[in-house]
Structure 1
């Protein structure tokens, strides 16, 4: 165990990019010992569990060039979709951005397709990065993100795109401006226990599905992410690591409405090298 942890720590100390895939959480019974109190706690638990397991199964690094990108996943926990079952399944994802780099969206979508063994995602909802205190989300914030999503629709990587936490005014502005119209908008019922009537009326008129969620503005803080890395790898240099994005996916059996698989993909980069 100590030797394996030392290998994992060596890899972490050298790497500049971390790609993490929790695998199918439906099948990972060790994460079901307690019910997480929030999406943030669930994600932190998943990062900790995946890195801990990866650390104990790291292959020998002797005589090998250390990689700059670490792909941390548990092979037996992943659940790729076969071509035969693809038509029966709906793959929905939500991308949580940490910064304003629009290439993160394409990066996350590409990694999801690769991890799940599909060429196209059925639905992608974007959660814009948290804004500085006092700033309000505007169309100008959304436009570069939406343009990137539209290009992914045009290249057939995504079938439908949606938004999160837009009020009626901003959703209308985006709808009028966009080439590819939003097909859905998530509403956080923690901040609004009843759907606003003006939002409901607009969504109905333009065939936009209103969904509910309970995700916080920031899915996981830098501190919580760094704590999870530190606890599972014994790496003391975690302050160098910062999240780029988090993607949460659900694979649903269309005919039965049940979740076949769900999980998270995470990318982080190491700064100040």
Structure 2
């Protein structure tokens, strides 16, 4: 086999970790022309389109961490413009308790993200608990201590759970997102607690499950044109944004996706 023309399915069968970067969606014209109906649909389209372009590129080695990204689609941030920009992980969707890293810093060529809001993996039972949140939060705290992230926040916590997290955490949550679908008006007790402890309340409209395991595999299969892909499991999805502070407009936005190959 020609090592300069290695088939994607061979790379996918040998790598242990898969990282995908959609590139800057503000400038990417090859996405579907129609406007996606939801974040979930946008993410699926992004994965499929990135995979489609990536499989056409020549690959020369067999890395453990497979980088599915397109250099020309990434807008790196120069040191000169960093002070004028707010670089945020708008939502970090966790699918497992896997170890977090700071790939956005490397991808966007910045030393630190201004903020990251985490959506922990869905609990096995209906109700969340502090014990369910702690592993992911401790990893974020480590990234704050290493100065990879300046501030960290949470998503969809009610007043009681937010208070438990605040009292337990070494690095306190700076914000909490509330789903617009679950409440039209902020709960008074949550509002009062957030005001007392200087926690910013934000809103979002993301679905409870951003992407199912099967939808992720389907997007990979369609993009790679390989229906045999089946042994990859989502670890996390980071939706990031880069905003020009003085103008309030997006310079770039996109997704970073991490998956782990399931050993037979």
Common topology (TM > 0.5): yes
Match of 2:63 in 1: 67
Match of 2:230 in 1: 239
Is the alpha carbon distance of 1:68 and 1:153 closer, same or farther for their aligned partners in structure 2, counting shifts above 3 Å? closer
- Residues in 2 aligned to 1:162 and 1:67: alpha-carbon distance in whole angstroms: 33
User: Could you give the per-residue CA deviations for residues 150-186 of structure 1, whole angstroms, max 9, x where no partner exists?
Assistant: 1211111111010000001111111112221111000
TM-score, with structure 2 as normaliser: 0.94
Match of 1:18 in 2: 18
- Structure 1: runs of 5+ lacking an equivalent: none
1:5 deviates by 9.4
- Residues in 1 aligned to 2:207 and 2:27: alpha-carbon distance in whole angstroms: 25
Worse overlay, 110-119 or 141-150 = 141-150
Out of 216, 225, 228, the residue aligned to residue 216 of structure 2 is 225
- Structure 2: runs of 5+ lacking an equivalent: none
Which structure 2 residues correspond to residues 102-121 of structure 1 after superposition, within 5 A?
103=99, 105=100, 107=101, 110-121=102-113
Q: Alignment partner of 2:157: what SS?
A: coil
Is the alpha carbon distance of 1:230 and 1:252 closer, same or farther for their aligned partners in structure 2, counting shifts above 3 Å? same
- Residues in 2 aligned to 1:270 and 1:154: alpha-carbon distance in whole angstroms: 30
Report the number of matched residues: 260
Match of 1:28 in 2: 28
- Residues in 1 aligned to 2:64 and 2:135: alpha-carbon distance in whole angstroms: 29
Contact 2:44–2:215 (8 Å) recurs in 1: yes
**CA RMSD across the alignment:** 1.7
- Residues in 2 aligned to 1:5 and 1:192: alpha-carbon distance in whole angstroms: 52
Out of 117, 138, 143, the residue aligned to residue 129 of structure 2 is 138
Is the alpha carbon distance of 1:19 and 1:44 closer, same or farther for their aligned partners in structure 2, counting shifts above 3 Å? same
Q: Alignment partner of 1:187: what SS?
A: strand
1:47 partnered with 2:47? yes
TM-score, with structure 1 as normaliser: 0.91
Larger helix percent: 1
Moved runs in structure 1, 4+ residues, more than 6 A? none
Is the alpha carbon distance of 1:155 and 1:68 closer, same or farther for their aligned partners in structure 2, counting shifts above 3 Å? closer
- Residues in 2 aligned to 1:13 and 1:148: alpha-carbon distance in whole angstroms: 29
Worse overlay, 45-54 or 153-162 = 153-162
- Residues in 1 aligned to 2:233 and 2:156: alpha-carbon distance in whole angstroms: 24
Q: Alignment partner of 2:167: what SS?
A: helix
1:73 deviates by 0.6
